[in-house]
A and B are shown apart, each in its own frame.
Chain A
Amino acid sequence: GAVVSQHPSRVICKSGTSVKIECRSLDFQATTMFWYRQFPKQSLMLMATSNEGSKATYEQGVEKDKFLINHASLTLSTLTVTSAHPEDSSFYICSAPANSGPEAFFGQGTRLTVV
């Protein structure tokens, strides 16, 4: 199947700093990618839809100025957590839909810890 690579897998940052997470589709093009967040012992919740060449679409309750999404090419979407705080500590995961057929491919996820 297709491969989505997400980097870094783990990151620890200080409160107030920004962290960038990359999501790449390695062997296919993705005009759309999705970013999810998983709180401890909870399910994955969609944060935003990343659209190549246009603005991201954010789900209700997600701060677009805090979670900056850029989808500058057909194979790369980035999520930047700006001015991170401990409550932003979570597991973030991206996905890209298959170009044909109903399926989604997921990255490995990023465990963010803000101290």
Chain B
Amino acid sequence: GNSVTQMEGPVTLSEEAFLTINCTYTATGYPSLFWYVQYPGEGLQLLLKATKADDKGSNKGFEATYRKETTSFHLEKGSVQVSDSAVYFCALLSSGGYQKVTFGIGTKLQVIP
């Protein structure tokens, strides 16, 4: 079955530091890949997505590239802010008609001033 492996946190960074959160996946076919963010006390928000190999998703300074050869979708940001403190989930959506999302464990990011 499908699975997503994501680095466990928490990750603590100083403001303006570089962020990488690793994510690898196992899936049949050609899944779509996502990063979701969950701010404290809130639901999930889509941060970015990529639907095919070599696609780069980007939003709010975050980027992730769909690497089929390494089955990875690492999240990066060049300069984090305190407001980026949240839990980040890597996820995939099967390429078949059954659109069930498979999530990674989530990585808590804390950015300190």
Partners in one complex: yes
Q: Which residues of A contact B (CB under 8 A)?
A: 1, 6, 32, 34, 36, 42-46, 49, 93, 95, 97-98, 101-109
Q: Give the CA-CA distance A108 to B102 in the complex, in Å.
A: 18
Q: Which of B32, B49, B100: most chain A Cβ within 10 A?
A: B100
Main secondary structure of the interface of A (DSSP, over half): strand
Q: Give the CA-CA distance A57 to B1 in the complex, in Å.
A: 17
Report whether B43 and A108 are in contact in the complex, using a CB–CB cutoff of 8 Å. Answer: yes
Q: Which residues of B contact A (CB under 8 A)?
A: 32, 34, 36, 42-46, 49, 51, 89, 93, 95, 99-106
Report chain A residues within 8 Å CB of B95: 102
Instruction: Known contacts A34-B101, A43-B105; decide if A104 and B93 are in contact (CB<8 Å).
Output: yes
Q: Give the CA-CA distance A2 to B44 in the complex, in Å.
A: 14
Q: Give the CA-CA distance A108 to B45 in the complex, in Å.
A: 9
Report whether B99 and A102 are in contact in the complex, using a CB–CB cutoff of 8 Å. Answer: yes
Report whether A104 and B101 are in contact in the complex, using a CB–CB cutoff of 8 Å. Answer: yes
Report chain B residues within 8 Å CB of A104: 93, 99, 101
Report chain A residues within 8 Å CB of B93: 102-104
24 CB < 8 A contacts A-B: A1-B46, A6-B43, A42-B106, A43-B104, A44-B44, A44-B89, A44-B103, A44-B106, A45-B103, A46-B102, A95-B101, A101-B51, A102-B49, A102-B51, A102-B95, A102-B99, A103-B32, A103-B34, A103-B93, A104-B93, A104-B99, A105-B46, A106-B44, A109-B44
